[in-house]
A = this chain, B = another copy of it.
Amino acid sequence: MQAVILAAGLGTRLRPYTEDFPKPLLRVAGRELLYRHLRLLKEAGVSEFIIVINPRHERHFREFLARHPEFPCTLVLNAEPERGNGYSFYLAREKVKGPFVLTMGDHVYEPAFVKEAVSCQGLVVDPEGLFIDPEEATKALCEGGRIKALSKGLKRYTGFDTGFFVLTPEVFTAAEALVQEKDEVSLSEIMARAQIPCSLLAGFFWMDVDTPEDLRRATYLLVKRSVKGAGDGLVSRWLNRRVSTWVSVRLVDRLTPNQATILTTLLGLLAALLVFASPAWAAVLYQVSSMLDGIDGEIARASLRTSPFGGWLDSVLDRIVDFSFLLALGLTFPPQGTLEFSVYLLAVFGSVMVSYTSERYRGAFGRALHAEIPLLRRIPGKRDERVFLTMVMVLLGWVKGLYFLLAALTNLRVLLTLILVWRAKGR
């Protein structure tokens, strides 16, 4: 399948960013708008791209494409961008060989949107438009599965124009006719004239980027939507994620996911060292590092930089940080007698095993443990909860009690996991 991406707009409302620079190459959550289109469409099965651009930006696009040889692209130059985006679309006609996707280079779509949208027909219409300004948006009126009208000013409408189309080359007949009739042609006119089909798709994040405020908003929403919350514990949901997404929005353009992993690890190790000077401050810093523990994953997903290595590294380093903190705390408050010694060892062992049982499960079954055994989501003992508990107990001065609690919580959770997995999978 081919895709046509319209990227010839002048982006006047984004000055000074677009003074001498094309809007589709501006970055949102660490990636150029255009990169997002190419990457997500390629993952959805598109193998060839036709990008219509303004010749004065040709150098920027060529540089971008040279950095990304993984996307087979043809540039089509529109020397008369003032003739409208319908005219830009018309210029792509000779390169199109069959059914194709058409997207607007100044739109942002979350990955799940693109995945669904490519199997739609005609214009993808969002009946809700949760993330856009209804005043500003182009509305679509569909009747009998086809577009009847398409414009900003519609009073009665089915939904909002997402700028994402799945088309056949016949649509160029209407384009041709309109280009003959008049100088300035909008895409909406062509699509309304061609009465292309329309498909409804709701619940996903997409928006068009027109102003500097939109750039920030799109970054913010991409980060928010990238929270993979299903495996989060209570503390993560209510506290850590709020902090980590606030930070991720600000760092997503500046840090790679692995850099974020290293930084939060260093912070955690620093907290462990600080135990010897001030256990209370150390515990607070430990909780801070835990609040930031989510940013590597958030940055990775929002900037389309997830990697198996990143996930592996994050998990292994988390275990090392947790052990270091428990070791430092254990040296500062050494166990008295065999019972306490056992409990310290059990706390260290159980803390690793909570993660071991669930990661080993993913290795064996290829699925997340909490997805198959939802009860485990509601049982405490996950890392965010352990770290928070550690902070609270250290601040209260109940270090020995902390080890007892950790030993009990984690090992009971492991035992319960054994029983539940046996029941679900052991036949």
CA distance A377 to B327 in the complex (A): 29
Q: Determine if B426 and A309 form an interchain contact, defined as CB atoms under 8 angstroms apart.
A: yes
CA distance A362 to B346 in the complex (A): 26
Q: Determine if B308 and A425 form an interchain contact, defined as CB atoms under 8 angstroms apart.
A: yes
Interface stretch of the complex, out of A5-13, A206-214, A313-321: A313-321
Q: Determine if B364 and A319 form an interchain contact, defined as CB atoms under 8 angstroms apart.
A: no
User: Which parts of A327-355 form the interface with B (CB within 8 Å)?
Assistant: 327, 330-331, 334-335, 338, 341-342, 344-346, 348-349, 352-353, 355
Contacts A323-B349, A341-B334, A356-B352; A364 near B425 (Cβ below 8 A): no
Q: Determine if A356 and B359 form an interchain contact, defined as CB atoms under 8 angstroms apart.
A: yes
Contact residues in B for A231 (Cβ distance below 8 Å) = none
User: Which parts of A279-320 form the interface with B (CB within 8 Å)?
Assistant: 307-309, 311-313, 315-316, 319-320
Interface string of A124-150 (1 = CB under 8 A from B): 000000000000000000000000000
User: Which parts of A348-383 form the interface with B (CB within 8 Å)?
Assistant: 348-349, 352-353, 355-357, 359-366
Contact residues in B for A357 (Cβ distance below 8 Å) = 316
> Per a CB cutoff under 8 Å, which of B334, B345, B422 touches A348?
B345
Q: Determine if A316 and B360 form an interchain contact, defined as CB atoms under 8 angstroms apart.
A: yes
Contacts A331-B338, A338-B334, A342-B327; A312 near B348 (Cβ below 8 A): no
> Per a CB cutoff under 8 Å, which of B319, B323, B326, B364 touches A308?
B364
> Per a CB cutoff under 8 Å, which of B258, B342, B355 touches A356?
B355
Contact residues in B for A315 (Cβ distance below 8 Å) = 356, 360
The smallest C-beta distance from A239 to any residue of chain B, in angstroms, reads 26
Q: Determine if B352 and A341 form an interchain contact, defined as CB atoms under 8 angstroms apart.
A: no
> Per a CB cutoff under 8 Å, which of B312, B326, B356, B426 touches A361?
B312
The smallest C-beta distance from A310 to any residue of chain B, in angstroms, reads 9
Q: Determine if A363 and B359 form an interchain contact, defined as CB atoms under 8 angstroms apart.
A: yes
Interface membership of A421, Cβ < 8 A: yes
CA distance A366 to B308 in the complex (A): 9
Contact residues in B for A320 (Cβ distance below 8 Å) = 353
Residue of B nearest to A316 (CB): B357
Sample of 9 A–B contacts (CB below 8 Å): A307-B425, A316-B357, A316-B360, A326-B345, A349-B349, A352-B356, A356-B356, A356-B359, A359-B360
Task: List the 10 shortest-distance A-B pairs measured between CB atoms, nearest first.
Answer: A363-B363, A308-B364, A309-B425, A362-B363, A312-B364, A359-B360, A352-B352, A323-B349, A308-B365, A311-B364
List 18 extra interface pairs beyond A348-B348, A360-B360, CB under 8 A. A307-B425, A308-B365, A309-B425, A309-B426, A309-B427, A312-B361, A312-B364, A313-B421, A313-B422, A316-B357, A316-B418, A323-B345, A323-B349, A327-B342, A330-B345, A334-B341, A335-B341, A363-B363
